[in-house]
Amino acid sequence: MVRVVNKAVEQIDVNALLAQYKGGGTSSYHPKMLLKVLVYAYARRIYSSRRIAEALRENIHFMWISWENCPDFRTINDFRGKRMKAVIGDVFSQVMEYLAAGGQVKLENYFLDGTKIEADASCMRMKEDRGAEKPWSKPAYNCRSEPKASLSWGSACMDGQATQPV
């Protein structure tokens, strides 16, 4: 897979990405090398910049695709956030088109999951799960606007006097 990603990034047009660099200053990592690392990492389901930096130090495939360079996680994050932000959709669509044309991937079944799930650790949820009638079971209760009521009720529970505050 690493050679396929290498060939794909070499074949696509990255002039829009290169235009993001204004030149001058100290030498930086080559944008194509960073792009290859990012595409290969995403193909391997590694999304965290710290884990990508770790793989660059430990994984032989990442070492090969990065020409044995080891950019820091900040460099990877800055490249992804600042340089790639304007061109990321175009670059990744070019990579997918190249891979589909070469028969490396099939675009027959493509699913995008945009499901939003409510967290179970909210302030209201934790208090509702206890089951008893409490001041926060009222719809108008807010954890931040009535902290004294919840604190006094909590201390009464610790003392064994579980009465609702008024």
Round the average pLDDT of the chain to a whole number and report it.
76
Give the tens place of pLDDT for each residue, 103-119: 887 777 666 666 777 66
> d(Cα 145, Cα 128) in Å, to the nearest integer?
18
* pLDDT recorded at residue 157: 47
Tokens in use for 109? 């079944």
CA within 13 Å, CB half, 54: 6
DSSP states along 10-38: HHS--HHHHTT----SS----HHHHHHHH
Amino acid letter, 29 = Y
Q: What is the pTM of this model?
A: 0.62
**Which residues in 130-164 are b (16+ Cβ under 10 Å) and which e?**
eeeebbbeeeebeeeeeeebbeebeeeeeeeeeee
Contacts of 12 (CB under 8 A, 6+ apart): 91, 94, 95, 98
Give the tens place of pLDDT for each residue, 113-147: 667 776 666 666 555 555 555 555 555 544 455 44
Give the tens place of pLDDT for each residue, 25-61: 666 888 889 999 999 998 899 999 999 999 999 999 9
What are phi and psi for residue 151, nearest 5 degrees? -70, -40
pLDDT of 65 > 60? The answer is: yes
Placement of tokens 């944008």 in the chain: 31
